[in-house]
């Protein structure tokens, strides 16, 4: 089946996670995404297991993209970027506001050669914020938008960071939605546009609990129990009061509280009874059957090393093996999109720096071999001969 974004050309100047993840999503949907990597490499190139010079984190964010390595400080680089932008549909970048202007490849400059161009700019605080100049990574946004404080309050622990880059991935996800909306609008108007996506805005907009703090009212969503059972830990998505009611009504748990017991005693005795009752489940299947009986959502507190055995991820083939460029394979998360009449999914491994310099110049610009060689041999295009593989 056809990919939804076949034929769409994306020039991806972004690095790290906010931006590259957006490019990865577009590539999974069929776009021809060309990563423009600086000679010094991407920020994620040092994180994770390296195979043939490609790290696990870089692979996760850049699988399925082609790669050119371009020194944007080279005098001729601006002309090449303009040539590529003239035939591109989308440009992605996550430099600090002002950097693209100083490089001479800002939206105003590029849209002058391609009025249909859509540019997505992801930054920590947005281009018109009083804090626009501040450097930012996901943990900085987690702190500023209140996520660290809330997690510390909820868990009664000192503040600390989240174990995933929510601010980065939220900005990329919202960025892709905006890009797809802009593509549709371009069909109506014939014109492209610039999208200014702030990591702060995206994370705040996606925070489903922000309204409690904004209106200064208590968070009424339950603190759900995590219980140690003979086969491991489980999370039960309810409060202890409702859990007792369901176990008492549908699973035969007796009420241990004597007549006339005060509220604190009643709560304590019932909680003890719940834990004792649940610990009689000696296997995961036995516990699952009990939860089905009382119609209660739950989850196994799973070690991430065991995710390949998670039944849904396994059934839906969300962990796939891609070429590791060394004669083997390596695991990677696949696209989550499931269409009834279209394809999606990771379409190849991450590329080495400059691996597709020649190929992109030929495919996108239609240059002759002689002109391609002249560009490749110039100082603006780079590659690492020790890493590049045909």
Q: Which residues belong to the active site?
A: 168
C-alpha 135: how far from chain center? 20
- What is the rounded CA–CA span in Å between residue 152 and residue 164? 16
Residue 47: left (phi > 0), alpha (psi -120 to 50), or beta?
A: beta
Q: How many CB atoms lie within 10 A of CB 127?
A: 15
Question: Dihedral, CA atoms, 290, 293, 294, 300, nearest 10 degrees?
Answer: 40
Helix 357-365 to helix 369-377 angle, to the nearest 10 degrees? 130
DSSP, res 3: -
Pair of tokens at residue 5:
């974004």
Torsion of CA 383, 62, 33, 6, to 10 degrees: 140
Q: Which residues, 6 or more positions from 366, have their beta carbon under 8 angstroms from its beta carbon?
A: none
Please count the other Cβ atoms lying within 10 Å of the Cβ belonging to residue 147: 22
């Amino acid at each position: 089946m056809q990919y939804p974004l076949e034929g769409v050309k994306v020039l991806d100047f972004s690095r790290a996670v906010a931006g590259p993840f957006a490019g990865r999503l577009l590539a999974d949907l069929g776009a021809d995404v060309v990563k423009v990597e600086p000679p010094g490499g991407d920020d994620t190139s040092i994180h994770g297991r390296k195979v043939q010079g490609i790290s696990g984190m870089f692979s996760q964010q850049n699988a399925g993209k082609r790669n050119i390595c371009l020194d944007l400080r080279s005098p001729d680089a601006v002309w090449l970027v303009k040539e590529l932008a003239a035939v591109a549909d989308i440009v992605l970048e996550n430099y600090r506001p002002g950097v693209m202007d100083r490089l001479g490849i800002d939206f105003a400059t590029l849209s002058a050669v391609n009025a249909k161009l859509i540019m997505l700019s992801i930054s920590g605080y947005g281009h018109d914020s009083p804090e626009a100049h501040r450097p930012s990574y996901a943990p900085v946004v987690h702190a500023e938008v209140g996520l660290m404080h809330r997690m510390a309050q909820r868990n009664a622990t000192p503040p600390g960071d989240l174990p995933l880059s929510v601010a980065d991935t939220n900005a990329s996800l919202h960025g892709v939605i905006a890009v797809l909306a802009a593509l549709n609008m371009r069909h109506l108007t014939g014109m492209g546009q610039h999208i200014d996506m702030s990591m702060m805005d995206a994370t705040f907009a996606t925070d489903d609990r922000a309204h409690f703090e904004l209106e200064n009212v208590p968070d009424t969503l339950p603190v759900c129990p995590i219980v140690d059972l003979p086969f491991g830990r489980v999370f039960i998505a309810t409060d202890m009061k409702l859990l007792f009611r369901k176990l008492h009504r549908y699973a035969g748990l007796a009420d241990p509280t004597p007549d006339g017991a005060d509220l604190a005693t009643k709560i304590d005795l019932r909680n003890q009874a719940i834990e004792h009752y649940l610990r009689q489940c000696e296997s995961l299947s036995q516990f699952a059957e009990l939860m089905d009986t009382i119609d209660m959502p739950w989850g196994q507190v799973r070690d991430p090393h065991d995710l390949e055995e998670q039944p849904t991820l396994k059934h839906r083939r969300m962990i796939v093996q891609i070429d590791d460029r060394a004669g083997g394979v390596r695991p990677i998360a696949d696209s989550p999109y499931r269409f009834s009449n279209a394809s999606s999914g990771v379409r190849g491994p991450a590329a080495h720096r400059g691996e597709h310099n020649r190929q992109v110049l030929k495919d996108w610009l239609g240059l002759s071999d002689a002109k391609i060689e002249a560009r490749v041999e110039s100082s603006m295009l780079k590659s690492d001969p020790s890493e590049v593989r045909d």
